[in-house]
Structure 1
Amino acid sequence: MFFLINKPSGITSHDVIYRLRKVTGIKRIGHAGTLDPLASGLMAVAVGNDTRLLEYLVGLDKEYVCTFRLGATSTTYDSEGKIIEIENAPQITESQLKKVLREFTGDIYQTPPIFSAVKIQGRKAYDYARSGEIVNIPQRLITIFHLELTNFKYPEVTIKVHCSSGTYIRSLVHDIGKRLNSGAYITKLERTKIGEASIDQAINVDDFTKESEQISFSQLRPDLLMYELSEQELMNVKQGKAISTKKSFQSVVLGLYNKQIVSVLEYDLNHSSLRPIKNL
């Protein structure tokens, strides 16, 4: 089972999972991407065996609507940290901001915030930050597909961001503020899309019940092709054996039996076969 959940600001992503476990009575529940406590918005949640498919959702593009304040910085890059006003900060114009936003579109290198769950030598970055240790966080290559200014009233700015998985919007805003020599930190953040799934389809976490509407995995990953297994092919797949096929596929294929996903298969072009890489 998969659900799209609308997380409110002020609680953790784990709090959302805890509430769903309480409602369903099922312990095995997971999600496809953490939202900071300050952030609200879309979470893709899987229940039971379907949690094994979450890795195929984690890498999907995301869309966010973000409001930030110019003229100050924050130790956490958002309003939850210690706010440091920038002395004699320049009053940025809309045209200046738009010019800088264009510089942050495309493939860029980004350093995750020190207050983040990024692991460094087996420890989460925020553990180093809380203990006052200085640590070097490696940069990562991300893609900003689209960056749109939707509201500007200095010092408040709102942008819409379509980005690759692994992008830290807090770091993006911090870097924009740094480039403007004015500082910037997030005051509001909402995730509005995961892949093609939209916040409009989501269930408010407080309204979630056992009867809440599910979303299929094929709706979340319409790009993945499916292969209907015969009874014999199902037996082979469950035993970890490859099955021959005359069809050509992309690298990853969903194996179906009685219209249910039972396996994730990998296409082997050299042998014209589908090899099971994960059985549900």
Structure 2
Amino acid sequence: MYVPGTGLDGLRADLGPIPLGGVDELGVAWVLQTLDGWDSPEIRAQVQQREGDHGAWSGARYLGERPITLAGTVVAPDPAALDDARERLLSAASLSDTTVVVYEQTPKQALAHRSAKPLWKYETDVAATYSVMMTADDPRRYATVAQSGTTMLPITTGGMTYPRTYPLAFNAVTVSGQVDCANLGSFETRPVLVIDGPVSQPAVLAQMPDGSVRPMTYSQDLSLGDQLVIDVDAKSVMLNGNVSRRRFLAVPLGWPVIPPEALVSFRFVAATYTATAALTVRWRSAWI
């Protein structure tokens, strides 16, 4: 019999609450034999052949979605436990987003949903094989640990200078009016910025690794208790969780992302100083 909570040799991944490559709390062993799609998603590009010449013209190139196939064998202590394991697997392979964690040297995760019929075949009354296909709409593989930093408005504005080169060892170093965000991965990542009022016409200035600055300026005021959430990936601006305020945010130089193996400093400013106004930046390192 298998010991609950122990790991098995070979591949290890979590499909929601199910420990593939381990033994769950009910004594069911989930052997993971196949993990496809964790290497790289497909490339999405348009190519036009050159007329009367060698080669082709390539358009913009993007990464597609990430299909992930998880397959293996389930061994249960009794037939009832095997039937229960099947139901739990079908529930974990949800139509809504489920966290898939793969335990590499640096564990990484993706949000994925069911994209094909799960396969389940009984081999004996206590053993079966399984295969589920999940698709991550976002092709990035993210760090399992989210990072965040919070700052208030700077007490003194103007005449402040910041270094343009930072050590990557920093996680989330916060100084007055500034949050430094390091991406330790191999692909750009997109932060979520949360501004808590009261604050008048807040702005966030993103200082990029090359020293350039990308401003995000909100033209309205936030009252006490208001919260503005700026999602750089979704390119959305939501007030208090349910009202779009995208039209009031100016991003004249483009949405700021955190490049791979680099650090971006987000500086919080406003039309007037308010002691309780706050900026929180949340992000995860990303790999492709």
Which of the pair is proportionally richer in helix?
Answer: 1
How high is the TM-score relative to the length of structure 1? 0.24
Q: Structure with the greater relative contact order (CA < 8 A, sep ≥ 6): 1 or 2?
A: 1
How high is the TM-score relative to the length of structure 2? 0.24
Larger Rg: 2
Which of the pair is proportionally richer in strand?
Answer: 2
